[in-house]
Every structure is written in C-alpha cells, then in structure tokens.
C-alpha cells in the first residue's frame, strides 16, 4: 500500500494564519477577526493536514473548497458554522479555490481567555468536538443574529485598545457561543425524525453486539458506536441526550444491564462467566455497575426469582 505523503501544516500563532492568507498582521497577537470577502482567493495544489493552536469559529457561505474531517468530506455550499478547538486535525482537499466567498473567521488563542471564566467554560461547549459534517446550519433569522455579533466583535477589534477592550470582546464571544449552543439544540429538535432513525440504528447495533452467538470479549463504547454510525462521539451523545435524556454511554449501560438481567434470570452461568460474556475483564467491575444501576448485586437479583 502506498504511503500517504500528505503535508502537515501547524499554525501556532494567529499572525502565521494571517500571513498564509495574505491579510497583514493582526491588530492583536491573541485574537483576530477576518471577513472572507476581504481575503485573496488561495489555491491548494495538494491535500494538506491542518493543525491550529488556537480556537476558530467560522461562518462560511459559498465555499468552493472541501474540508475532510475523519473519513467525511464536507462541502460548504450553504451558510454554516464550524468550530475548531486547538490541536484539532482537519484535512483540506486539493482545490483551485479554498476560501469562502463571504463569511467570517474568528481566531481566539487560549491565552486571550486565560484569566476569564470563559477560558474554562469554552471547553464545555461540545460543538468544538463535533466533526465538520456536523456543522451548525443556520436559519435566515439565526444567521442575522450571528452576523450582528460578528459585526460587534469586528467593530471592537478595529478600535484603539483600552482597559475595556478585552472584556467587551470576550463578552461578545460568550454571547456568540451561547447563541450557537441554543441553535444547535434547535437543530437537534428540527432533525428529530432523523434522530429517531438514528436511535433505531443504535438499538440494532447494540442488539447485534449483545445477542451474537459468539462470546463477546469487549464492551461496546460510546466511541465504537459513534464510529459505526458515522458520527463524532460528542455529537452523537448530545443528539441522544436531546432525544432521550440520556447520553450514549448511559444508553449502552442501560442496554447492557437489561441483557445481564435476562442472562441472570434464564441461565445457570456464574456471575463471573456472565461478566466475561458481556465483555468485562473483571467480574467486580460488572457487579459494581449492576449494583449501581439496580441497587442489587447480580446474585441478589438472581435470588429474587427463586
């Protein structure tokens, strides 16, 4: 098999990103905002792996370039928002034009947020862990609200820096993220029929895992289930939480306990044998989880039927 000699480009400083885009030096070393309309179109002659050391919040419209995250290509034909955390890896496909015709890119270095509560809170926004193909699709009214905040940040970015500048910018970034969180939850609700189909597929995956005739030697994980469903782990968990009130891991554990109850009720296998069949390396781990979920040990549950 031929080795993929894809080039890796690491962008450590916001100034490097500006230089690559030909947009001049940023007005602040740890924060910048750019309009795609103001940037010269850039060609990409080969596939490139991109790694940034800072957060990026992007609103793209009419983008000819394609970006790959994992095994999925994402085409920015519509106005969408994407969120990139520091060290996140994405692959830019070969293209004569890679920049959007319009939109915004907001660059935020973690050090810019370091002494503010948002420095920790930003890590709680799950959409920074979503795959590119799980981008936020905005309605017309939502897009107007988001663009208004970008405009406020841009206005502050071009003003002379004073003692209030950073507070104002960070307040607007936090407002932007709050709206995005709200709109993502709306997106989960609007796509509920697809989510219901997703829940059915997940049920089939878990049923196949637990009901197979062969001895199961590994536990299903949130990562493995998400991979089979072609979702990022965080997006799947948030989607299921919106639909069922439970995370992926909670649903897996509920299914596991239900299957364990069936085996305990109808078989004569020992608790250790059942634990191994379910995929536990140590029977104590199975017993601890079972008691945590049912307030009974496996043996107590089995004896309750005798």
At a CB cut-off of 8 Å and minimum separation 6, what does 224 contact? Answer: none
Largest separation between any pair of C-alpha atoms in the chain: 79
Tokens standing for residue 231 = 């979702």
Q: Please answer whether residues 82 and 58 qualify as being in contact, where contact means their C-beta atoms are separated by less than 8 angstroms.
A: yes
Helix axes 233-244, 192-211, angle to 10 degrees: 110
Q: Please answer whether residues 177 and 106 qualify as being in contact, where contact means their C-beta atoms are separated by less than 8 angstroms.
A: no
CA 140 to chain centre: 24
What pTM value is reported for the model?
0.70
d(CA 169, CA 171): 5
pLDDT at 213 (0 to 100): 60
- Domains of the chain with bracketed CATH: 7-190 (2.60.120.280), 193-303 (1.10.10.60)
Strand arrangement of the beta sheet that strand 55-61 belongs to: 31-35, 102-108, 55-61, 80-84, 136-137
Q: Which residues of the chain have pLDDT under 70?
A: 1-5, 41-44, 62-79, 93-100, 132-133, 190-196, 213-217, 305-306
User: Judging by beta carbons within 10 Å of its beta carbon (0-12, 13-18, 19+), is residue 10 exposed, middle or buried?
Assistant: exposed
pLDDT at 2 (0 to 100): 44
Query: How many other CB atoms are there within 10 angstroms of residue 191's CB atom?
Result: 16
pLDDT at 24 (0 to 100): 86
pLDDT at 105 (0 to 100): 93
Q: Please answer whether residues 180 and 81 qualify as being in contact, where contact means their C-beta atoms are separated by less than 8 angstroms.
A: yes
């Amino acid at each position: 098999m031929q080795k993929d000699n894809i080039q890796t480009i690491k962008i450590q400083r916001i100034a490097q990103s500006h230089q690559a885009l030909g947009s001049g030096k940023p007005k602040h070393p740890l924060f910048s905002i750019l309009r795609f309309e103001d940037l010269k179109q850039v060609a990409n002659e080969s596939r490139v792996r991109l790694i940034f050391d800072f957060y990026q919040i992007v609103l793209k419209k009419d983008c000819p370039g394609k970006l790959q995250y994992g095994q999925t290509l994402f085409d920015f034909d519509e106005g969408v928002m994407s969120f990139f955390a520091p060290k996140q890896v994405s692959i830019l496909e070969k293209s004569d034009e890679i920049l959007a015709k319009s939109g915004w890119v907001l660059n935020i270095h973690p050090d810019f947020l370091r002494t503010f509560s948002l420095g920790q809170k930003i890590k709680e926004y799950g959409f920074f862990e979503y795959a590119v193909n799980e981008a936020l699709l905005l309605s017309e009214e939502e897009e107007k609200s988001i663009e208004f905040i970008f405009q406020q940040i841009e206005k502050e970015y071009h003003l002379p820096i004073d003692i209030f500048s950073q507070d104002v910018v960070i307040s607007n970034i936090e407002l932007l993220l709050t709206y995005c969180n709200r709109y993502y939850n709306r997106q989960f609700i609007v796509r509920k029929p697809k989510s219901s189909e997703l829940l059915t597929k997940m049920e089939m995956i878990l049923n196949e895992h637990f009901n197979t005739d062969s001895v199961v030697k590994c536990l299903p994980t949130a990562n493995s289930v998400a991979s089979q469903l072609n979702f990022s782990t965080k997006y799947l968990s948030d989607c299921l939480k919106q639909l069922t009130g439970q995370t992926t891991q909670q649903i897996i554990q509920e299914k596991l306990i239900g299957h364990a109850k069936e085996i305990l009720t109808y078989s004569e296998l020992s608790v250790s044998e059942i634990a191994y069949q379910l995929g536990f390396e140590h029977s104590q781990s199975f017993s601890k989880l079972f008691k945590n979920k049912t307030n009974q040990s496996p043996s107590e549950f089995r004896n309750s039927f005798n």
